[in-house]
Amino acid sequence: MLVDMHIHTRFSPCSIIKIPKLLEKAKQTGMDGICITDHDTIAAKSIIENGVDSSGICVIVGIEYTTTKGDFLIFGPVESIPKRMGAEDLFKWVEKEGAVIIPAHPFRRERPADLHILQSCKIIEVLNGRNNHFENELCKDWLKKQGNNVKEVGGSDAHTLGEVGQIVTQFEKNIYCLDDFIRELQHGNYSPVQREAL
């Protein structure tokens, strides 16, 4: 199952993607799932809910949460996530709520993840479509040296329709809802995949 785990819509100030067009693009490019991860908002839930939509695409609404120690993709009960937490409090919230936290683009030159925080992560976004090749390679190198059994995901970080689906995560098992997604992230098998231009 192919899932683009990092997509921004028009609810992020930096993106021009409309949700109906996103669903069309996902279907057109042969994806099975998408994660909407707008910056510090879950406003997409006013238009679409978690689950499989009428076209057969599994939709998960998460959030890209900004902290001074990095940006984090959060999946779980994001409708109750407190605003403006520091990274340490964010990790405590994730643990308490049974959510999943993933450092986004942790080695990007701008807004990298704090290395001390990174060492406590169980899943890391290794391939990011808006990173340059060197930034993605830095992450891979760090994982080889420091990433004891850390799981790897990838996402396009799309802000335009043309970027959607270029980097995805391939899951071994099918995902139909948020609970499936959380379970597979925590215990399943998956890996990041770079796809040809679509």
The Cα 175–Cα 7 span in angstroms is 18
Q: Which CATH superfamily is domain 2-194 in?
A: Metal-dependent hydrolases (3.20.20.140)
Q: Are 128 and 154 spatial neighbours (Cβ–Cβ below 8 Å)?
A: yes
Residue-wise pLDDT for 82-101, tens only, equals 999 999 999 999 999 999 99
Quick one: CA dihedral 84, 15, 53, 2, positive or negative? negative
Residue-wise pLDDT for 138-187, tens only, equals 999 999 998 778 999 999 999 999 999 999 999 999 999 999 999 999 99
Residue 198 pLDDT > 70, yes or no? no
Is the whole model's pTM more than 0.85, yes or no?
Answer: yes
Which residues lie closer than 8 Å to 188 by C-beta, 6 or more apart?
A: 171, 172, 173
